[in-house]
A and B are shown apart, each in its own frame.
Chain A
């Protein structure tokens, strides 16, 4: 009919080619994951002969062998150690980091500024520089080779980052909410717990992910402070598959898959919440 607007096909070759490029880039990112899974499922004799091919049949026994571990401990013990250390450290970082940042952001003054600068320095200075005094100090306190010591270490090492992230966020938070709570008769702690802390959800997600990933993946500190004990974390336990003369790469990769599994499961369960947290900010 004359005058009727023409409906154009918006899906053009140009759109298609753009999509193709994006898919190719995504494929490049998926390649390491493919290699990880493929090697984890290979029998030892195919590792170097057909490194990129999908193994037929896949050898799921690698996971059982990896789980059984090498030498003294099983991977199961390491998973528990990693979970205990990461979860408790992150929880303490969230509790103390948010409380500390709340005070720094809401009680401006010379002391607050100085403390904030010290926290910033804590981010800038590499923690490896202080490993020897830390080791000596923690050993004197009986905190080497156990969960408590590792948790104390991580809470201390990651606190500057947590405080930095929380402080920036609290400073952006309108004071009206806290003032409204004060007027409504809430004390400082109730105001923090019932009003401020829930509003910090987006940054709490960021703190949990950044610090949690760092702690979960750490090899260096775990090796030094927990090496040779029953509390070794996953990265250290995986390293035990790497021998001086022989390395069972398929078992190493299977162990890495096991180590990744809790993180992937967490991301799958919590991804909607996390994305909302990152993107949402605060909406009245």
Chain B
């Protein structure tokens, strides 16, 4: 087991296309680090540089105390699980798992013993004589894991290993991989574009965009204190709601001014975010997660809105409300929306030209609301997020 350190790592392809810029990360021994971001954000390139499958253009990567920039992948003592598993189709499951041991000329008896032990651990014993094509997706996934763990490497690298599985199996395998990683205590870098996977599996997550690390930290910390609008929009499902407001100082405190109404910002919230002082009488982007909006004010700050529709999801109800305000349509928000689906981008673009914005709030499934109904939407003010409209950076301390 070993720590992995990326220091000022960059990747520039032939022709000048830059995939990763100045990436700095310290991954502790035994840690489960998840690289997450939309397609093309550089997360897989970063992983492949750690693996040794891509040359490192700038900076250094160390595994343990050893700088591995010039070391061949096979000599880095790390194992990788590929997106399509890359199981050798002509070899039996036994031979697939045994491959890394045979490549290292491990004695036959030891190979058999280790492969059988690994197969027992993963529930693959009965499949050892079979060929990969006879196994289901989940079983193949386990074989790929087996091939990675059989030689007890210093670190695991996993490149979207669950993306080829159906939703139900993905949930099952998610917990299985987490359990295995905890049991084995091997340092792991896991790449995914699925923020739910990132949140549930990672002991730490690194959010990337356009080759640049946006934020790293414990999933809860990233969720609750996003560093910028991109992270705020990307992490969370449904994503964070954004609207444009003017931050103003009035006689008895601070308010967010919207067309036709204003929302009081409690003094303790203002005190916790001294950076807001610089935005007095200026427009900023306000972000609020669906669970921090409520139906009914409950005595706290509230905004008046009209219901567009409500979606019953069993355990909760998602209520879409329309608010007279301007939408925040920056590159970051659009890119995060694009990762969800193309229609989200279209909806954002439509809103950009109008004077209203749609917010989603999480309500009790028993709540009865009809489309067109006027409602008071309560805001959990301490959980409001503020962002600079130009830079997208969070406004905080």
Which of A's residues lie within 8 Å of B, judged by CB? Answer: 174, 176-177, 179-187, 190, 194-195, 198-199, 201, 282-284
Contacts and interface: CB of A to CB of B under 8 A. Distances in A.
Contacts of B82: 176, 179-180
Contact of A183 (B74, B83, B84): B74
A199 B86 contact: no
B88 A195 contact: yes
A255 to B, nearest CB: 40
Nearest to B53: A179
Given A184-B74, A185-B103, A284-B132, 15 more contacts: A174-B84, A176-B86, A180-B80, A180-B147, A182-B73, A183-B78, A183-B80, A184-B79, A184-B147, A184-B151, A185-B75, A185-B100, A185-B104, A283-B133, A284-B89
B140 interface: yes
B88 A186 contact: no
Nearest to A198: B90
A284 to B, nearest CB: 5
Contacts of A176: 82-84, 86
Contacts of B100: 184-185
A203 to B, nearest CB: 14
16 contacts: A174-B86, A176-B82, A176-B83, A176-B86, A179-B80, A182-B72, A182-B73, A183-B78, A184-B147, A185-B75, A185-B103, A185-B151, A187-B74, A198-B90, A284-B133, A284-B140
Among A177, A185, A201, A282: residue with most chain B CB under 10 A: A185
Contacts of A195: 88
Contacts of B147: 180, 184
Contacts of B72: 182
Contact of B86 (A177, A187, A190): A177
A284 B90 CA distance: 8
Given A176-B82, A284-B133, A284-B140, A183 B73 contact: yes
Contacts of B53: 179, 182-183
Contact of B89 (A179, A181, A185, A199): A199
A230 to B, nearest CB: 42
B87 interface: yes
B51 interface: yes
B96 to A, nearest CB: 9
Contacts of B132: 284
B99 interface: yes
B387 interface: no
Interface residues of B, number: 29
Interface of A is mostly: helix
B85 interface: yes
Interface of B: 51-53, 72-75, 78-80, 82-91, 99-100, 103-104, 132-133, 140, 147, 151
A281 to B, nearest CB: 10
A244 B80 CA distance: 72
**Leading 5 A-B pairs by shortest Cβ distance:** A185-B74, A184-B100, A176-B86, A180-B86, A185-B103
Nearest to A176: B86
A183 B99 contact: no
Contacts of A201: 90
Contacts of A177: 86, 88
B103 A190 contact: yes
Given A180-B82, A182-B53, A284-B84, A199 B90 contact: yes
Contacts of B73: 179, 182-183
Contacts of B52: 182-183
A49 to B, nearest CB: 57
Given A199-B89, A199-B90, A282-B89, A186 B103 contact: yes
Contacts of A186: 74, 99, 103
Contacts of A181: 88, 99, 103
A183 B90 CA distance: 18
A186 B99 CA distance: 9
A283 B89 contact: yes
B37 to A, nearest CB: 21
Contacts of A179: 51, 53, 73, 80, 82, 86
A198 B104 CA distance: 20
Among B75, B86, B99, B140: residue with most chain A CB under 10 A: B86
B82 to A, nearest CB: 5
Contacts of A184: 74, 79, 99-100, 103, 147, 151
A46 B222 CA distance: 95
